[in-house]
Chains A and B, each alone.
Chain A
Amino acid sequence: MKKFILIVSSILLVHISFAQKRYFTKTGIVSFEAGTAVEDIDAINKSVTSIFDATSGQYEFALLVNGFEFKRSLMQQHFNEDYLESDKYPKSTFKGKITNIDQVNFKKDGTYPVTVKGILEMHGVKKEIETPGVFKVKGDDVSSTATFTILLEDYQIAIPSLVKDKISKTVKISVNCSYSILK
């Protein structure tokens, strides 16, 4: 009997670990807007790596700061050299969790609201953020979108007073990723 239970439970365990689905992308998009009425400032990064676990809700993002594409070259230069110091802090990451992953049915096509909570690290500073987002399930593919706002001073990004009215103190960040199942 004991042996039987052991066998059954081990089969179950194997089954559970196999059922653990992970979704992955290397081509996620993160963009931001930090402009004011005086000046439009926006940039886009199209090579964001992200992975999430459909069972536990564990969620991670990583991007290269130097990969943001601006419309004006000076902005890109200031962004990398003065504000984000991308030679010192080349990467930015998010590590957290989808707190209501149990409400997403990955077997059924549809749109599901989610809440994501975790630590956003950029410019060498770690800070907790929480944001609503949307998961869209279509067959084996999942896409996610989220928009949230951060404060520049939270990440010790100092804006010189000369350009203070041109750069917003808050930055609106948008995330748009299309995942496929990690084999």
Chain B
Amino acid sequence: MKKQWKKILYAAMLITFAAAGYGFYLFNKKPADIRTLPYKYELTASNLVGDFNKDETAADKKYVDKVIAVKGKVSEVKLEPSTGQATVILDSGDPLAAVTCSFYDDEAGSLKKIKQGESIVVKGRCTGKLMDVVLNKCSIEK
């Protein structure tokens, strides 16, 4: 009888430790590296902006916090050495709304070869639309 109690006690302790460990793991878990995730949608910059222009609420539901791959012509590459920021603006054909892609800081090097007017595919996490549709944590897919 006594042995049984001991077993239960050990099991309870094990579960408590496991739970605490799992909690600690969850707490310290870093945000996923978007570069290693597959994208959910692949579309052109003009289609993406078009979807947001048509119905922003629906587009928010569909794209925000999702990893997407966007194809478009580079209209600007902005490298800010003072802050380490690296940003690419993709032309959507709409003069009032482009796609702003904020890259991982350590991807800045890969942008040095990119030229204005070049067609590229950017993978990133969509955060919504201000004037432009914005992606963050971007990297070059193609």
Contacts and interface: CB of A to CB of B under 8 A. Distances in A.
A27 B64 CA distance: 19
B127 A29 contact: no
Given A27-B87, A73-B30, A66 B64 contact: yes
Of A27, A29, A62, A74, which is in contact with the most chain B CB atoms at under 10 Å from its CB? A27
Interface in B106-134: 127-132, 134
Interface size class of A (residues with CB under 8 A): 20 to 34
Interface residues of B, number: 28
A47 B78 contact: no
A69 B78 contact: no
Given A26-B89, A46-B136, A64-B128, A90 B30 contact: no
A71 interface: yes
Main SS of the interface on chain A?
Answer: strand
B80 interface: yes
A73 B31 contact: yes
B60 A72 contact: no
A70 interface: yes
Interface string B64-85: 1100000000000010101101
B96 to A, nearest CB: 12
B102 A27 contact: yes
Contacts of A26: 87, 89, 100, 131-132
A63 B131 CA distance: 10
Contacts of B8: none
A90 B64 contact: yes
Contact of A91 (B26, B130, B137): B130
A123 to B, nearest CB: 15
Interface of B: 26-32, 60, 64-65, 78, 80, 82-83, 85, 87, 89, 100, 102, 127-132, 134, 136-137
27 contacts: A26-B87, A26-B89, A27-B78, A27-B87, A29-B85, A46-B85, A46-B87, A47-B100, A47-B136, A49-B130, A49-B131, A49-B132, A63-B130, A64-B128, A66-B64, A66-B65, A69-B31, A69-B136, A72-B29, A72-B30, A73-B31, A73-B32, A87-B64, A90-B64, A91-B130, A178-B80, A178-B82
